[in-house]
Copies of this chain bind each other. A is one copy, B any other.
Amino acid sequence: MGDEFLNLKEPYEAKNILNSLKLKKTVEMVDIRNCLGRVLADDIYSSIALPPFDRVAMDGYAVLAKDTFGASEDNPKALKLIEVIGAGDKPQKNIVDGTCTEVGTGAPAPQKADAVVMVEYTEKSGDDILIYQGVAPGENITKKGTDIEENNLLLKKDTVLTPDKIGVLSAIGMATIPVYVQTKVGIISTGNELVTVGEDIDYGKVYDVNSQSITSAVLSCGCIPISIQIVSDNFEALKNAINSLIDDADIIITSGGTSAGAGDILRPVIEDMGKVLVHGISFKPGKPTLIGIIEGDENKILIGLPGYPVSALMVFESLIAPFLRRTSGWKAVVSGPISVPLKISRRFHSSRGRTHQLLVKVQDGLAVPIQKDSGAIAALAHADGYLEIPKSTEIIEEGTIVEVKLFQR
């Protein structure tokens, strides 16, 4: 009992160690309808030009521009209508001197036509169209390939597929998209006191929070949670649970059993199966966090979170989530949509010597600190996010701007 943490790491050291661990990245082809939030695994070149033909940009009449020169309200030019073409139609007739074709927006320009007169500047007169305003060559026709040329680099590898990028892939007709296989994360809650939600609870037991919160958090990082289990505080039981997940999961996250005290079994299990890289991080809450690895053809990463739900989730958000997003290929634009600068609502005293992760509520545009101990679920009920206070900071004055990291769905 009382075996202390051998070598407490600073948060940045723990992040560096975690980020140095490489996971194999594999690629799969996925239907474009299921690609939202996935990450491109290949550079994408345009297989076609866009527009794929000289495209009419306005409803009107395709003409030879020179036939319209000098046209005015007082002196309209009459052109013979030879065809009517809408979007999706294929023109059959070439424009020759003195003729025009009625065209709709999006239609291919007829051969030889070099401009389109907007319908507003025309009038029908029997088989003729009267043109009241001249057009310059090229006007109202978007030339083939002016948007995107064939074989040009369109989207780079590692691009996150937001709706706009899915639009870009659709424009060149791609129905299946090469994306990275999502990282699979096994989740284990350890503790003899834990009961699965929905079941009856006996005296001395509590509901297992971490399985549900960590599962959701893994999903919000674009990864796939697999095989959620509760295991008892027992060396063999935990080792068996990890072994049952190790083939399918890239990462296994446990919670509980990481303090340096009685019933703390994760460390010996990892030492038995692989090696411990970090045990103890200078975080508040979250000190007993553990990072280990089982090396092989494919490295498997083991992460031990503290058992208290608030501690477990805070360590996940600040340490594990950025790593998981990176393994999924996810890259935030700027510092990311998950962080907003807000003024703190009151003077706050931080604890020295450890990086403090402070839960906050956002109210009237201010970050309001929530002070509860890390065993308290109520804090999570009120929190909108958290801020990271460096260990060197003792006091944050009221009104100071802080970066609030918002909880993401």
A403 to chain B, nearest CB (A): 12
Residues of B contacting A91 in the complex (Cβ-Cβ under 8 angstroms) = 204
- 1/0 per residue, CB under 8 A from B, across A54-65: the answer is 010101000000
> Contacting chain B: which of A240-248, A278-286, A373-381, A388-396?
A373-381
Minimum CB distance partner of A405 in chain B: B337
A166, B106: Cβ atoms closer than 8 Å: no
Number of copies: 2
A173, B199: Cβ atoms closer than 8 Å: yes
Asked if A72 is an interface residue, CB under 8 A from chain B, the answer is no
B88, A167: Cβ atoms closer than 8 Å: no
Asked if A136 is an interface residue, CB under 8 A from chain B, the answer is no
A220 to chain B, nearest CB (A): 6
Minimum CB distance partner of A307 in chain B: B106
Residues 185-236 of A contacting B (Cβ, < 8 Å): 191-199, 201-217, 219-220, 222, 232-233
B167, A213: Cβ atoms closer than 8 Å: yes
Q: How far is the CA of A81 from the CA of B222 in the complex (A)?
A: 50
Asked if A294 is an interface residue, CB under 8 A from chain B, the answer is no
Q: How far is the CA of A57 from the CA of B195 in the complex (A)?
A: 19
Q: Could you say which of B168, B338, B407 contacts A164, with CB atoms under 8 Å apart?
A: B407
Residues of B contacting A276 in the complex (Cβ-Cβ under 8 angstroms) = none
Q: How far is the CA of A171 from the CA of B208 in the complex (A)?
A: 7
Q: How far is the CA of A36 from the CA of B218 in the complex (A)?
A: 10
B88, A201: Cβ atoms closer than 8 Å: no
Asked if A134 is an interface residue, CB under 8 A from chain B, the answer is no
Q: A164-B313, A191-B88, A217-B163 are in contact. Are A384 and B333 (CB under 8 A)?
A: yes
Q: How far is the CA of A34 from the CA of B386 in the complex (A)?
A: 24
B334, A337: Cβ atoms closer than 8 Å: no
A36, B409: Cβ atoms closer than 8 Å: yes
Q: How far is the CA of A201 from the CA of B47 in the complex (A)?
A: 12
A51 to chain B, nearest CB (A): 7
Residues of B contacting A338 in the complex (Cβ-Cβ under 8 angstroms) = 337
Residues of B contacting A17 in the complex (Cβ-Cβ under 8 angstroms) = none
A210 to chain B, nearest CB (A): 8
A209, B119: Cβ atoms closer than 8 Å: no
Residues of B contacting A195 in the complex (Cβ-Cβ under 8 angstroms) = 173
Q: How far is the CA of A233 from the CA of B338 in the complex (A)?
A: 42
Residues of B contacting A55 in the complex (Cβ-Cβ under 8 angstroms) = 375
Q: How far is the CA of A35 from the CA of B212 in the complex (A)?
A: 10
- 1/0 per residue, CB under 8 A from B, across A33-77: the answer is 101110000000000101111010101000000000000000000
Asked if A120 is an interface residue, CB under 8 A from chain B, the answer is yes
A29 to chain B, nearest CB (A): 12
Residues of B contacting A33 in the complex (Cβ-Cβ under 8 angstroms) = 212, 215
Asked if A342 is an interface residue, CB under 8 A from chain B, the answer is yes
A108, B203: Cβ atoms closer than 8 Å: yes
A296 to chain B, nearest CB (A): 30
Asked if A309 is an interface residue, CB under 8 A from chain B, the answer is yes
Asked if A322 is an interface residue, CB under 8 A from chain B, the answer is no
- Give the interface of A toward B (CB within 8 A): 1-2, 32-33, 35-37, 48, 50-53, 55, 57, 59, 86-91, 104-108, 119-120, 142, 147-148, 154-155, 160-176, 191-199, 201-217, 219-220, 222, 232-233, 259, 261-263, 307, 309, 313, 333-334, 337-338, 340-342, 362, 365, 372, 375-378, 380-381, 383-385, 406-409
Q: What are 22 pairs between A and B in contact, CB < 8 Å?
A: A1-B119, A36-B409, A52-B206, A87-B263, A89-B192, A105-B261, A106-B191, A106-B307, A142-B375, A147-B377, A160-B409, A163-B214, A163-B216, A163-B313, A166-B212, A166-B213, A168-B377, A170-B197, A170-B208, A173-B201, A175-B196, A337-B338
6 closest Cβ pairs, A-B complex: A175-B198, A88-B192, A167-B213, A88-B193, A37-B409, A163-B216
9 further interface pairs, Cβ-Cβ under 8 Å (given A105-B263, A176-B198): A33-B215, A87-B193, A87-B233, A88-B205, A88-B232, A163-B213, A167-B212, A168-B381, A171-B377
